[in-house]
A and B are shown apart, each in its own frame.
Chain A
Amino acid sequence: MAYAWHWEVFLQPAAAGGTTYLDWMLAGLETTVALSLAAWLMALLLGALTGVLRTVPSRLWAGLAAAYVELFRNVPLLVQLFCWYFVLPELLPQSWGDAYKQMNPFAQQFIAACVCLGFFTSARVCEQVRAGIDSLPPGQKNAGLALGLTLAQTYRYVMVPMALRLIVPPLTSEFLNVFKNSAVASTIGLLELAAQGRQLVDYTAQPYESFIAVTVLYMAINVVVMAAMRQVERKARVPGYIGSK
């Protein structure tokens, strides 16, 4: 195979922006990380809320939360993304839709991708939170109520803190998934890591170098997230449960 490797291509000045191709790559990495972290924060908040709702003794709320999960789990991520990006702005009140469309393209893409990933992931987090709450011995809830706490207080001070600590290990894989799923945002034109890699192929004509670099960066993200979550896991372990020291 007569392929001319040119790793130094990353240091050459880029076609636009007065920077190097390496800077393009790093800008993509930054967008991927920012997008994933923002979506993850949203997913944790929404997921914890809906996860609690799935376990409350109210058929209406539990049913609504179940429908929420089914909706976001049974439609492909790509279809959801296109719905947030192309469909929703048309269905909003005219003034809102116009306001959205007048933002700069990057902000439009980022917001759509973030909201999409946030809701998509929250349905998965919801199921983990529910499993965590269901795995608690019923005595915890009863003890809370017997002490005179209201149901809301029992959730707030007893069950949710316990459940969240128990589900840290499964949440790690969901956290990793957010980063991987964020690559889907390249389909609406957001210049995150995967899109930058593709763009570099067109500009530099050095396809192998740019794709290898992008792949390695995704793997690096994985390693960093896993190491960080291992720390969280160690801190969050509940004494007396399997996995604790």
Chain B
Amino acid sequence: MSYDFDWSSIPGALPFLWDGMKVSLEITATAIVVGIVWGTLLALMRLSPVKPLSWFAAGYVNLFRSIPLVMVLLWFFLIVPRLLAGVLGLPPGSDARLASAMLGFALFESAYYAEIIRAGIQSVPQGQVAAALALGMSYGQAMRHVVLPQAFRNMVPLLLTQAIILFQDTSLVYVSALADFFGAAYKVGDRDGRLVELLLFAGAVYFVICYAASLLVRQLRKKVAT
């Protein structure tokens, strides 16, 4: 092996990398919140007896699940801002690209959350809905007070596993101009000519975070199972 490692550019860059990590975590948190809320709505629509709603939800989920995340981010980074500027007549100086990329990311992840939540709702025994309706609850009340609480309890491990995947996916915002942790590491490596060290460092950081999180989820799964 002929390569001379030189890790000296990392300590000085730590504050910059930490800023990037904060962006990554912010995107993750936003996407999880939007994903679970919008994903729940989509799942309810998909299971709804109203056909147009269920068609819309099915179409949405299938569309987002059949195209790559990179493509979705490019759509929302390059195309959607132009469209919005055209429709809303925004002044030419304003830049909606970052917000748009973030929104695209959240909309993409919602499709995956919707499928997990739908499976969770369907795993609640039919008798529970029947019992709630027999008690005089409306469909909405039965969902809110009986079905969803049980469904979410069963889904927690899966939702968290999806959150880990989502955190890894945030690195793909590299294709937009959002400076997340990976983007920051790449920039430092590029600037100092130490790309090898910075990429290995970034990989190690992601590994430690995701592995630790997956161990926690495994513990939780055991708890939920008993």
Contact = CB atoms under 8 A, between A and B. Distances in A.
Interface of A: 1-3, 70-71, 73-80, 82-83, 86-87, 90-94, 97, 176, 179-184, 186-187, 194, 197-198, 201, 207-208, 211, 214-215, 218-219, 222
A186 B70 contact: yes
Nearest to B186: A82
Contacts of A91: 1, 3, 196
A222 B67 CA distance: 9
A208 B66 CA distance: 19
B86 interface: yes
A131 B83 CA distance: 46
A152 to B, nearest CB: 31
Interface in B114-166: 164
Interface in B160-186: 164, 168-172, 174-175, 182, 186
B211 A74 contact: yes
B52 interface: no
B79 A79 contact: no
Contacts of A214: 71
Contacts, number: 114
Contact of A207 (B78, B186, B196, B214): B78
Given A83-B200, A93-B2, A211-B79, A70 B211 contact: yes
Interface string B72-93: 0011001100110011000000
A222 B168 contact: no
Interface in B181-226: 182, 186, 195-196, 199-200, 202-203, 206-207, 210-211, 214
Chain A CB within 10 Å, residue with most, of B1, B67, B175: B67
B68 A71 contact: no
Interface of B: 1-3, 63, 66-71, 74-75, 78-79, 82-83, 86-87, 164, 168-172, 174-175, 182, 186, 195-196, 199-200, 202-203, 206-207, 210-211, 214
Contacts of A207: 78-79, 82
Nearest to B211: A74
20 contacts: A70-B211, A74-B211, A78-B174, A79-B182, A87-B196, A87-B199, A90-B196, A91-B196, A176-B66, A183-B69, A184-B68, A184-B70, A184-B172, A187-B174, A197-B74, A211-B71, A214-B71, A215-B71, A215-B75, A218-B68
B70 to A, nearest CB: 4
The 5 closest A-B pairs by CB, nearest first: A183-B68, A74-B210, A76-B168, A183-B70, A180-B68
Nearest to A180: B68
Contacts of B67: 180, 215, 218-219
